[in-house]
Chain A
Amino acid sequence: MGAYIVRRLWQMIPTLAGVVLLIFFLFNWVGGDPALVLAGKITNAEQIENIRKQLGVDQPYWYQLWVFVKQIVTFDFGRSWATNEAVSNILITRVGPTLTIMIPVLLLETMIGVVLAIGVAYVRGTLTDRAIMMVCTVAMSISFLVYIIVAQYIFGFQLGWFPVQGWSDSFAKNIVTYAPLPILLAVFVGLAPALRLYRSFFLDEVNQDYVRTARAKGLGEKTVMMKHVLRNAMIPILTNVGISLPGIFVGSFLLETFFSIPGLGREILTAVNRSDFPVIKAATVYLAVVTMMVNLAVDVLYKAVDPRVVLK
Chain B
Amino acid sequence: MKSTRSYRRAVAYLLAAHCFFNSTAIFAADKVKTSRFAFLIAETSFDPAKVSDLYSNTINEAIFDPPLTYDFLARPAKLIPNTAVAMPEVTENGKTYTFKFKPGIYFADDPVFKGAKRELTSYDYAYSLKRFYDPALSSPWLWYVEGKIVGGDEAMAAAKKSGKFDYDAPVAGIETPDKYTLRLRLKETDYNFIYIFGTVQTAAVAREVIEANAADPGAHPVGTGPFRLIEWKRSHKMVLEANPGYRTHIYDAEPGDNPETQEIYRQMKGKKLPQIQRVEISVIEESQPRWLAFVNGETDYANAPNEFAGFAFPGGKLAPNLARLGMRGQRFVEPDLVYTYFNMEHPVVGGYTPEKVALRRAIWLGYNFNEDISVIRNGGAVKAESPIPPGVAGYDPAFRNAFSEYNPTKANALLDMYGYLDRDGDGYRENPDGSKLVIEKSSEPDSTSKQFDELWRKNMDAIGLKMVWNKAKWPDLNKESRLGKLAMWQLAWGADYPDAENFYQNLYGGNIGQSNRAKFKLPAFDNLYEQARQLPPSPERNKLYVEMARLVSAYAPWIPQVHRLRSDVVQPWVIGYMKHPILNAPWLFMDVDESKRPQH
- Whether B282 sits at the interface, judged by CB under 8 Å, is yes
- Whether A32 sits at the interface, judged by CB under 8 Å, is yes
Residue in B44, B139, B482, B515 whose CB lies within 8 Å of A83 = B44
Indicate whether A258 sits within 8 Å of B286 (C-beta atoms), given known contacts A79-B216, A84-B218.
yes
- For A240, what are the chain B residues with a Cβ–Cβ distance below 8 Å? none
Residue in A39, A164, A180 whose CB lies within 8 Å of B140 = A39
- Whether A116 sits at the interface, judged by CB under 8 Å, is no
Complex Cα distance, B42 from A108, in Å, reads 32
Residue in A37, A40, A260 whose CB lies within 8 Å of B236 = A260
Indicate whether A42 sits within 8 Å of B219 (C-beta atoms), given known contacts A36-B479, A149-B288, A152-B289.
no
Structural contact, B138 and A172, CB atoms closer than 8 A? no
Q: How large is the interface on A (under 10, 10 to 19, 20 to 34, 35 or more residues)?
A: 35 or more
- Whether A267 sits at the interface, judged by CB under 8 Å, is yes
Indicate whether A32 sits within 8 Å of B141 (C-beta atoms), given known contacts A85-B234, A152-B292, A258-B286.
no
Complex Cα distance, B135 from A83, in Å, reads 18
Indicate whether A84 sits within 8 Å of B140 (C-beta atoms), given known contacts A33-B479, A45-B513.
no
- Whether B136 sits at the interface, judged by CB under 8 Å, is yes
- Whether A99 sits at the interface, judged by CB under 8 Å, is no
**Residues of B87-140 whose CB lies within 8 A of A:** 135-136, 138-140
Indicate whether A85 sits within 8 Å of B219 (C-beta atoms), given known contacts A43-B514, A165-B293, A259-B289.
yes
Structural contact, B289 and A93, CB atoms closer than 8 A? no
Structural contact, A157 and B475, CB atoms closer than 8 A? no
Interface stretch among B13-21, B347-355, B567-575?
Answer: B13-21
Complex Cα distance, B478 from A189, in Å, reads 38
**Residues of A1-58 whose CB lies within 8 A of B:** 31-33, 36-45, 47-48, 50-51, 54
Complex Cα distance, B513 from A90, in Å, reads 36
A87: shortest Cβ distance to chain B, in Å? 12
- Whether B469 sits at the interface, judged by CB under 8 Å, is no
Closest A residue by C-beta to B478? A36
Q: Mark B505-544, 1 if CB is under 8 A from A, else 0.
A: 1000001011100000000000000000000000000000
Structural contact, B482 and A51, CB atoms closer than 8 A? no
Complex Cα distance, B284 from A257, in Å, reads 7
Q: How large is the interface on B (under 10, 10 to 19, 20 to 34, 35 or more residues)?
A: 35 or more
B542: shortest Cβ distance to chain A, in Å? 23
Structural contact, A32 and B476, CB atoms closer than 8 A? yes
Residue in B135, B235, B295 whose CB lies within 8 Å of A267 = B235
Structural contact, A85 and B216, CB atoms closer than 8 A? yes
Complex Cα distance, B505 from A166, in Å, reads 42
- For B135, what are the chain A residues with a Cβ–Cβ distance below 8 Å? 50
- Whether A295 sits at the interface, judged by CB under 8 Å, is no
Complex Cα distance, B26 from A163, in Å, reads 12
- Whether A284 sits at the interface, judged by CB under 8 Å, is no
Q: Mark B31-59, 1 if CB is under 8 A from A, else 0.
A: 00000000000101100000010000000
- Whether A200 sits at the interface, judged by CB under 8 Å, is no
Structural contact, A47 and B138, CB atoms closer than 8 A? yes
- Whether A270 sits at the interface, judged by CB under 8 Å, is yes
Structural contact, B235 and A270, CB atoms closer than 8 A? yes
B505: shortest Cβ distance to chain A, in Å? 8
Complex Cα distance, B396 from A108, in Å, reads 64
Structural contact, A153 and B475, CB atoms closer than 8 A? no
B374: shortest Cβ distance to chain A, in Å? 25
**Residues of B218-251 whose CB lies within 8 A of A:** 218-219, 233-237
- For B283, what are the chain A residues with a Cβ–Cβ distance below 8 Å? 260
Structural contact, B293 and A172, CB atoms closer than 8 A? no
- For B190, what are the chain A residues with a Cβ–Cβ distance below 8 Å? none
- Whether B501 sits at the interface, judged by CB under 8 Å, is no
Complex Cα distance, B260 from A218, in Å, reads 86
Q: Mark B481-515, 1 if CB is under 8 A from A, else 0.
A: 01000000000000010000000010000010111
Structural contact, A32 and B218, CB atoms closer than 8 A? no
- Whether B266 sits at the interface, judged by CB under 8 Å, is no
Structural contact, A42 and B473, CB atoms closer than 8 A? no
- Whether A262 sits at the interface, judged by CB under 8 Å, is yes
Indicate whether A32 sits within 8 Å of B236 (C-beta atoms), given known contacts A40-B141, A165-B289.
no
Structural contact, A37 and B14, CB atoms closer than 8 A? no
Complex Cα distance, B237 from A257, in Å, reads 14
A309: shortest Cβ distance to chain B, in Å? 34
Complex Cα distance, B283 from A167, in Å, reads 11
Q: Mark A160-194, 1 if CB is under 8 A from B, else 0.
A: 00011111111011001100100000000000000
Structural contact, A257 and B219, CB atoms closer than 8 A? no
Residue in B17, B42, B233, B476 whose CB lies within 8 Å of A270 = B42
- Whether B470 sits at the interface, judged by CB under 8 Å, is no
B598: shortest Cβ distance to chain A, in Å? 12
Structural contact, A37 and B475, CB atoms closer than 8 A? yes
- For B17, what are the chain A residues with a Cβ–Cβ distance below 8 Å? 172, 176
- Whether B167 sits at the interface, judged by CB under 8 Å, is no
Complex Cα distance, B160 from A163, in Å, reads 53
A159: shortest Cβ distance to chain B, in Å? 12
Structural contact, B45 and A176, CB atoms closer than 8 A? no
Indicate whether A32 sits within 8 Å of B138 (C-beta atoms), given known contacts A84-B218, A153-B292.
no
Indicate whether A167 sits within 8 Å of B514 (C-beta atoms), given known contacts A54-B138, A172-B21, A258-B286.
no
- For A247, what are the chain B residues with a Cβ–Cβ distance below 8 Å? none
Complex Cα distance, B480 from A33, in Å, reads 10
Task: Enumerate the 4 nearest inter-chain pairs by beta-carbon distance, A residue then B residue, closest first.
Answer: A40-B140, A32-B475, A262-B236, A165-B289
Residue pairs across A and B with Cβ atoms less than 8 A apart, 14 shown, are A32-B473, A33-B479, A36-B478, A40-B52, A42-B511, A43-B514, A47-B142, A50-B135, A84-B216, A93-B234, A170-B21, A173-B21, A262-B237, A275-B475
Known contacts A33-B478, A54-B136, A83-B234, then 5 further A-B pairs from the complex at CB < 8 Å, ordered by chain A residue: A36-B475, A42-B505, A165-B284, A176-B17, A262-B237
